[in-house]
Amino acid sequence: MRLHSLIVYLVTQRRGAVWSAVALISAASVYVLVTRMKLDSEVLNLLPSGFESVEGLKIYNRDFAQVRDLTFALVSQPEDVDKLEEFAPQFAQNLREQPWCTRVLAGVPMETPEGIRDLQSIAVPLLLNLEPGVFNETVSLLLPEKMRERLHRLHFELEAGSPRPQIELGLDPLGVIAPALKPFASNSAIEDDQPLTSPDRTMRVFITVTNQQSLGPTDCQKLMREVKAFQESAKQGWDGGPLQILVTGRAAYVAEISLSMRHDIVVTLLASITLVGGVFYIGFHRWLPLIGMGLTMLLCCLVALASAALIFGQLNGVTIGFCAILIGLGVDFAILLFGRYQQARDEGIDHPGAVSEAVRSLGNAIFFGALTTAVGFLALMLAGSQGFTQLGVLTALGIFFAGIFMMTVFFLFLPRKSSRPRNDWMFALVKKYVRWIVRRPASILWISVPALLILTAVALSPKPPIIFDVSTQSMAPKRSDAGYALKTIMEKMPSRWEPVIGIVKAANAQQLHDYWHKVAPEWNQLQVAGKIKSFSTPAALALSPARLQTNREKLQTVDFQATRETLEAAIAAEGFNRDTFDSAFVLLDQLRGVADPSVPLPDWRTQLPQDSSWWFLVDRYFAHDPLLTTGFVTTHKPVATQEQKEMLQRELPVEGVPMVLSGWSFTLTDLVPWSQRQLVLISALMALFDATLLALLYRDWRLWLIQIATLAMAVCAMIATMKLLHLPLNLLNVLAFRLVLAIGVDYGIYVLLVWQKARQLDHDVAGVVKPVILAGLTAICGFGALGIANNPTLTGLGYACAIGLFWSLVATIFFTLPAAAAAEPKSWREESLQPRVQEPENV
């Protein structure tokens, strides 16, 4: 039994069995979706693998506690800056009291008594980690003569009105803490690199660490619900003008993106169904096939999603666009089949015969159409991105299921009794057009060819340039509170741009120390040379076990009893208040303790109180694994060009130190060549595939040439439109080109295959051109529906595809058809227009 006969048998004679199979497949799919499907909101999974910078970003996001930071910003009116300064401590205290908040950084730790106290608590290990020369010099301050001299001088300066003695004696009454902290403090000028107050004082920034269990969407949404409630009540006590409380951070983004995913799925699907349904009804004036088409598409989506859930486990956010794309594409098959089916019914053929005719005459076209589209989407696997691999495989599966279900299940919804034929104005119009272009192809070619060539020239011309947006904002949700907060902070504090990070992993503490002590001088040279603005490393906190041991041995030579007595005497001689020196005596005892080799050295991580603000600094540098660390390099301008990136890639690595360079801006800049390669190379491969397939399909070099020219001009018109409308390409919507090539070629295949086999040219070709127009419009609507998604990657992809398909459709109708006609002799064209069978006028 031939395939079309088998299908006719199943959908007409064994309807119950087919319905049962549909119910079974649907139930199984729903079960799989409910039990297996997880949404992945990790935007990094959209980026290609194999890039060190991408891997670095993933490591940083996964292993460093800083990703659990939430940044709050209070923004007041300029006249309320004093009130804001007064309100800030109250707000910080309020934050500290929140159950979800572990720590708050509300000011420079060094300027608070707690910050100084905490720093004193880790002074001993940092002192022992000093370089031998500096250590010797520092410890010499404990010699009686030097100690007396120092206190005398401080007394003198105090009398002279200097602020220094008060600061110095407050932090370091013994004089050994400051040198110990110097390497650390040089890295800790938070206010320089990451200011907490805007220059105009209208913004105050508070950084918090949250205690959320994970960074998964559910935990982030739960946390952000609590944060929103806090935002509502946090203005209590504020008596100034309008005050904005902004919040941003990874949890805020994850919560928003995961929620907007749901919104995008629902909205784009509904918009897609409405638009596609509208186009279908305008074309055929029938509801039942429309409902049947919608339900069949739903089945396609359900089965494809379930299959994908089984294959991948969890689906990335971008794949949510799949449903809208699939509807746009799968409906093409339904429209083509129904167009042919209806034509047969209107010619008086019964239901089984019309089903047979539709499947027989369009089976090949649908097969090749599905093949080119599926290959186009499967080519997304070449992008090397997990998210796009999923999208490619999903859509290819969806197209496959759409082909099967539209040629079987869809016919179950069609009425077996034929309704009264109606006046089909669209068919009549298309038929007139086809007759006209067959008779006078040159008249339309004289308009379409110059227009398409002008657009091609615009596309190829360097001006206007096509906008290529690689900024991080190009990937942030459009309507995002977290995005708005980040943008406001960046505007108010322009110096807060994101640094380049250098990730270093060591096998042991000594190696970590050695690595960073190699890196720090090299980066310092780059700073001196003006190649970078500043840098900070964990060198001061990467303790060297060998150096600790050596310095401990040196401490044994100090006579701590004599030092203590000298200090007591000097305090009395200079008239200092002894209470000021309490911490000095404690430190002397600690130093005497660690001088004993049998006493274990205190670990600074346990010495530093858990609620200390200094942890913000420590967490910047150290991952959960203390041997995984990162250094930061601030550039003079945000990293945006290849020259900047290449300079950093050339200069920052240090010989003998395995380092991964990363950071958002750095990574996105790093990916630009990849993205451009995607645009050129993989699109070219697609074009080659299409060209080969078409050559095999048509076996006619003229038609082949026409179709290739159509594709080339359609893609150029798409580029020109994006240039003229200032629609930017980003790292993701460059993939639209291959999709346009894959889908756009189908229109030509449908039209030219019928053209080749037409018995009466205007009747047969109009019979396929009308469904192609409707199919094109539905595909454009399907992609255009993505434009209302909140996710800009989907929006960009949707707009680019809709524009590309629009030009593919235009080029097929106004160039392919007349060019195919122009390629034939006039006599052949006249003869082809003569009717060979009597057909009703409404068809």
Query: Amino acid identity, residue 330?
Result: G
Single residue of 21, 143, 185, 526 touching another protein by CB under 8 A: 185
Rounded distance between C-alpha atoms, residue 425 and residue 679, angstroms = 41
Structure tokens, 537: 């490393």
By CB under 8 A, name the one of 42, 69, 80, 168 that touches another protein.
168
To the nearest whole angstrom, how small is the minimum distance from the Cβ of residue 576 to another protein?
6
Task: Indicate the residue among 140 and 419 with the shorter CB distance to another protein.
Answer: 140
Structural tokens at position 74: 């209070």
Q: Encoding tokens for residue 455?
A: 């657009």
Which residues within the stretch 24-43 sit at the binding site for another protein (CB under 8 A)? Answer: none
Other C-beta atoms closer than 10 Å to the C-beta of 142 total 22
Q: Name the one residue in this structure whose structure tokens are 């229109």.
A: 747
- Measured from the CB atom, the residue of 153 and 478 that comes closer to another protein is 153
Nearer to another protein, 185 or 412 (CB): 185
Site for another protein in 573-602 (CB under 8 A): 575-577, 580
Contact range with another protein by CB under 8 A, out of 78-86, 229-237, 406-414, 725-733: 78-86
Which of 26, 49, 98, 186 contacts another protein by CB under 8 A?
A: 186
Cα–Cα dist 109/137, whole Å: 27
Binding segment toward another protein, per CB under 8 A, in 164-172, 585-593, 738-746, 767-775: 164-172
Q: Segment contacting another protein (CB under 8 A): 148-156, 206-214, 239-247, 801-809?
A: 148-156
Q: Which amino acid is present at 144?
A: P
Q: Among residues 135 and 184, whose Cβ is nearest to another protein?
A: 184
Site for another protein in 102-121 (CB under 8 A): 111
Regarding 163 and contact with another protein (CB under 8 A), the answer is yes
Position 164 contacts another protein (CB under 8 A): yes
Q: Which is nearer to another protein, 99 or 575 (CB)?
A: 575
* 169 vs 785 by CB, closer to another protein: 169
Question: Residue 791 and residue 796: Cα distance in Å, rounded?
Answer: 9
Select from 2, 27, 85, 550 the one that contacts another protein (CB under 8 A). 85
Minimum CB–partner distance for residue 197 and another protein (Å): 8
The smaller minimum CB distance to another protein, of residues 86 and 700, is found at 86
In the numeric block, which tokens belong to residue 109? Answer: 């730790």
How many Å apart are CA 825 and CA 827, to the nearest integer? 5
Sequence-ordered list of residues with C-beta below 8 angstroms from that of 671, at least 6 positions apart, any chain:
47, 48, 51, 53, 54, 470, 731
Query: Mask of contacts with another protein, 212-251, x by CB under 8 A?
Result: ----------------------------------------
Q: Which is nearer to another protein, 78 or 163 (CB)?
A: 163
The stretch near another protein (CB under 8 A) out of 258-266, 335-343, 571-579, 584-592 is 571-579
Shorter beta-carbon distance to another protein: residue 60 or 91: 91
Give the residue, chosen from 6, 28, 189, 688, that forms a contact with another protein under the rule CB under 8 A.
Answer: 189
CB 125 within 8 A of CB 604: yes
- Nearest-approach distance from CB 87 to another protein, in angstroms: 9
- Residue located via tokens 């020196």: 581
Structural tokens at position 65: 């506690």
Please state, in angstroms and as integers, the Cα–Cα distance from residue 170 to each residue in 146, 158, 177, 582, 752, following that order: 19, 13, 11, 10, 88
The one among 2, 62, 117, 153 contacting another protein by CB under 8 A: 153
Given the DSSP bridges, would you call strands 69-75 and 244-249 parallel, antiparallel or unpaired?
antiparallel
Closest to another protein by CB, 614 vs 783, is 614
Helices (H), 131-249: 132-139, 144-160, 164-171, 177-185, 190-193, 217-233
Q: Which of residues 118-147 bind another protein (CB under 8 A)?
A: none
Q: Phi and psi (nearest 5°) for 358?
A: -65, -45
Q: How far is the CB of 69 from another protein (least distance, A)?
A: 24
| Residues in binding contact with another protein, number by CB under 8 A | 29
Q: Rounded to whole angstroms, how far apart are CA atoms 32 and 36?
A: 5
Q: Does 432 bind another protein (CB under 8 A)?
A: no
Stretch that binds another protein, among 32-40, 166-174, 355-363, 443-451 (CB under 8 A): 166-174
Torsions phi, psi of 100, nearest 5?
-90, 0
Stretch that binds another protein, among 181-189, 311-319, 492-500, 609-617 (CB under 8 A): 181-189
| CA-wise closest residue to 269 among 699, 647, 832, 782 | 782
Which member of 52, 55, 63, 157 binds another protein (CB under 8 A)? 157
Which x/- pattern, by CB under 8 A, does the window 294-333 give for another protein? ----------------------------------------
Segment 503 to 532, residues that bind another protein, using CB under 8 A? none
Residue with the two structure tokens 């339900």: 295
Characterise 638 by phi-psi region: left (phi > 0), alpha (psi -120 to 50), beta (else): beta
Query: Between 168 and 690, whose beta carbon lies closer to another protein?
Result: 168
Residue 260 C-beta: closest distance to another protein, Å: 39
Identify the DSSP state of 86: H
Nearer to another protein, 192 or 611 (CB): 192
Residue position matching structure tokens 């159950």 = 99
If we measure between CA atoms, which residue out of 623, 653, 538, 796 comes closest to residue 53?
Answer: 653
Chosen residue from 17, 30, 82, 262 binding another protein by CB under 8 A: 82
Closest approach of another protein to the CB of residue 203, in Å: 14
What is the chain's Cα-based Rg?
36
Q: Which of the ranges 160-168, 289-297, 472-480, 654-662 carries the binding residues for another protein, by CB under 8 A? A: 160-168
Say how far apart CA 506 and CA 628 lie, in whole Å. Answer: 7
* Partner residues linked to 659 by β-bridges: 504
State the Cα–Cα distance between residues 614 and 632, nearest whole angstrom. Answer: 17
Minimum CB–partner distance for residue 81 and another protein (Å): 9
For 706, the enclosing helix (H) or strand (E) is: helix 701-724
Q: Which of 804, 797, 802 is nearest to 264 (CA)?
A: 797
Nearest approach, Cβ of residue 586 and another protein (Å): 18
- Strands 314-316 and 38-40, by their bridges, are parallel
DSSP SS3 for 385 = strand
Dihedrals φ, ψ of 315, to 5°?
Answer: -110, 140
Q: Write out the residues near another protein by the rule CB under 8 A.
A: 82, 85-86, 111, 153, 155-169, 185-186, 189, 192, 197, 575-577, 580
